[in-house]
């Protein structure tokens, strides 16, 4: 995968983040379609670049896990860093908002398959690559119409963003665990990502972020560190199963030491209910195991790709 920016045809923006845009691009020679994340990185020095490229090699070795987005490489162009990755149809934040816009809710099995895929990816990163993700949130979980569910934006992207944004305000990272908000300098623990996963699943299940608006970093400390943890309930019009409720709430235990790790989550009923035992959801859907999910996924992805054309 040796190519430069000139080998890519820009087809326009498909998403915007804090540090730049993500564009759909086509590799001229192969006609391969990519998602290219362009990060303004005029502040990244050449020493830093070398380190980042070394790091990228680690990230690219994650190609044995089917729930992690493929990376094709990074290049520097006019002071920007371009991260080239596999393109997916939609991110989970957009998907769930589309669903709620039409008055529906994300079906519980879909929440289950998303939870299982994300935990498998996080566990693989940790076990095989010794990487902690640090930025688990709905926009970093990507899906396609066939039922592939993949985690992105770990490793290089996170490192790069960190080096650009050392001064970033706490309030900009709403999925952060209480212990991260209050003790930012302590070593990162996987259980902080478990919290972020809990917030993510809560948000997708309820259709909204669990905390009210934050205007300052103080508001975040007030609510996340001093306030009660968000809690899903069984007795709501949503009719969540007890398995879902227990699973999400266990991720949202405020005391980090009481919070489960990935191995603990994998023993829970909710996880086992939607564990496809190595098979991807796409493969399971291909065998027509769940028409309902299959049809809905297609609808949700189509809604957004139509919207994206006019972005
Ligand atoms: P954030 O994750 O904070 O939203 P990013 O810059 O990482 O910011 O991504 C911006 C948006 O681009 C995401 O919300 C997502 O919708 C979209 N996106 C990112 N990567 C991909 C990809 N590989 N395929 C399709 N869409 C993507
Ligand atoms: Mg992202």
Instruction: Count Cα atoms within 13 angstroms, Cβ side, for 230.
Output: 25
- For 84-130, give the secondary structure using H, E and C: EEECCCEEHHHHHHHHHHCCCCCCHHHHHHHHHHHHHHHHHHHHHHC
Q: 254 CA distance to ligand 2 centroid (A)?
A: 25
* pLDDT at residue 308 in the model: 38
Residues annotated catalytic, as ranges: 135
- 241-256 average pLDDT score: 97
201-247 pLDDT per residue, tens: 999 999 999 998 888 888 888 899 999 999 999 987 778 999 999 99
Instruction: Say how far apart CA 151 and CA 146 lie, in whole Å.
Output: 16
- Residue (of 155, 142, 145) closest to 114 by Cα position: 142
Alpha carbon 161 to its chain's center: 15
**Pocket probe mutation, ligand 1, options 13, 74, 91, 172, max atoms within 8 Å of Cβ:** 91
Listed range (111-115, 166-170, 288-292) with the worst mean pLDDT: 166-170
Ligand 2 centre distance from Cα of residue 171 (Å): 17
Ligand 1 site residues, Cβ closer than 6 angstroms: 14-18, 22, 35, 37, 69, 85-88, 91, 94, 139-140, 142, 152-153
In angstroms, the Cα distances linking 16 to 22, 38, 39, 62, 180 are: 6, 10, 11, 25, 25
How far apart CA 248 and CA 138 sit, in angstroms, is: 15
Report the alpha-carbon distance of residue 189 to residue 170 in Å, rounded.
18
Mutate to test the pocket of ligand 1, among 14, 83, 98, 146 (most ligand atoms within 8 A of CB): 14
Tell me the two tokens of residue 134: 């640090």
pLDDT range class, residue 193, cuts 50, 70, 90: very high
Q: How far apart are CA 2 and CA 8, in angstroms?
A: 12
pLDDT > 50? residue 306: no
Compute the distance between CA of residue 149 and CA of residue 69 in angstroms, rounded to an integer. 9
The predicted structure's pLDDT at residue 241: 96
Interval 37-63 mean pLDDT:
72
Give strand pairing partners of 141.
151
Q: Is 37 annotated as a binding residue?
A: yes
From CA 263, how far away is CA 261, in angstroms rounded?
A: 6
* Closest residue by CA, ligand 1 atom 12: 15
Helix or strand run (H / E) with residue 281? helix 281-286
> Partners of 71 in the beta sheet?
85
Determine which of 50-59, 101-110, 164-173 has the lowest per-residue pLDDT on average. 164-173
Report the nearest atom of ligand 1 relative to the CA of 140. 2
Summarize pLDDT for 147-156 with one digit per residue, the tens.
999 999 876 5
Instruction: List the single range of 120-124, 160-164, 233-237, 275-279 with lowest mean pLDDT.
Output: 160-164
Give residue 233 CA to ligand 1 midpoint distance, Å: 31
Of all protein residues, whose CA lies closest to atom 22 belonging to ligand 1? 87
In this structure, the residue with its CA closest to atom 14 of ligand 1 is 139
Contact assessment for residue 52 and residue 81, using Cβ atoms and an 8 Å cutoff? yes
Phi–psi pair at 72, nearest 5 degrees: -105, -10
Among 15, 140, 157, which is best to mutate for testing ligand 1, by the most ligand atoms less than 8 A from CB?
A: 15
- Pairing verdict, β 80-86 and 90-91: unpaired
Handedness of CA 278, 124, 189, 204 (dihedral sign): negative
d(CA 8, CA 92): 27
Cα separation, 249 vs 202, in Å, equals 9
Helices and strands in the chain, H and E counts: 12, 8
pLDDT score at 170? 41
Rounded distance, CA 46 to CA 147, Å?
A: 40
What strands, in cross-sheet order, belong to the sheet with 141-143? 90-91, 141-143, 149-151
How far does residue 142's CA lie from ligand 2's centre (Å)? Answer: 9
Burial class of 247 by CB neighbour count within 10 A (0 to 12, 13 to 18, 19+): buried
ipTM over 0.95: yes
């Amino acid at each position: 995968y040796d190519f430069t920016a000139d080998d890519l045809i820009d087809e326009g923006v498909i998403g915007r983040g804090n540090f730049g845009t993500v564009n759909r691009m086509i590799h001229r020679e192969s006609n391969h379609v990519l998602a290219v994340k362009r990060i303004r990185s005029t502040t990244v020095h050449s020493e830093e670049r070398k380190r980042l490229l070394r790091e990228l090699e680690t990230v690219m070795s994650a190609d044995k896990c089917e729930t992690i987005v493929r990376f094709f490489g990074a290049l520097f162009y006019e002071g920007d860093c371009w991260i080239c990755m596999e393109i997916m149809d939609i991110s989970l934040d957009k998907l769930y908002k589309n669903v709620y816009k039409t008055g529906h809710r994300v079906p519980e099995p879909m929440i289950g398959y998303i939870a299982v895929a994300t935990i498998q990816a996080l566990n693989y990163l940790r076990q095989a690559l010794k990487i902690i993700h640090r930025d688990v949130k709905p926009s970093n979980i990507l899906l396609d119409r066939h039922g592939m569910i993949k985690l992105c934006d770990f490793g290089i992207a996170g490192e790069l963003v960190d080096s650009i944004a050392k001064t970033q305000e706490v309030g900009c990272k709403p999925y952060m665990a209480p212990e991260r908000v209050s003790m930012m300098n302590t070593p990162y623990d996987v259980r902080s990502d478990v919290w972020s996963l809990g917030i993510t699943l809560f948000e997708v299940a309820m259709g909204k972020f669990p905390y009210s608006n934050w205007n300052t970093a103080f508001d975040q400390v007030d609510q996340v560190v001093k306030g009660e943890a968000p809690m899903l309930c069984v007795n709501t019009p949503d009719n969540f199963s007890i398995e879902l409720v227990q699973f999400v709430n266990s991720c949202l235990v405020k005391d980090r030491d009481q919070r489960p790790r990935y191995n603990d989550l994998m023993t829970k009923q909710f996880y086992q209910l939607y564990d496809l035992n190595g098979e991807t959801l796409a493969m399971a859907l291909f065998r027509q195991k769940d028409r309902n999910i299959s049809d809905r996924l297609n609808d949700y992805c189509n809604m957004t790709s139509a919207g994206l054309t006019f972005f």
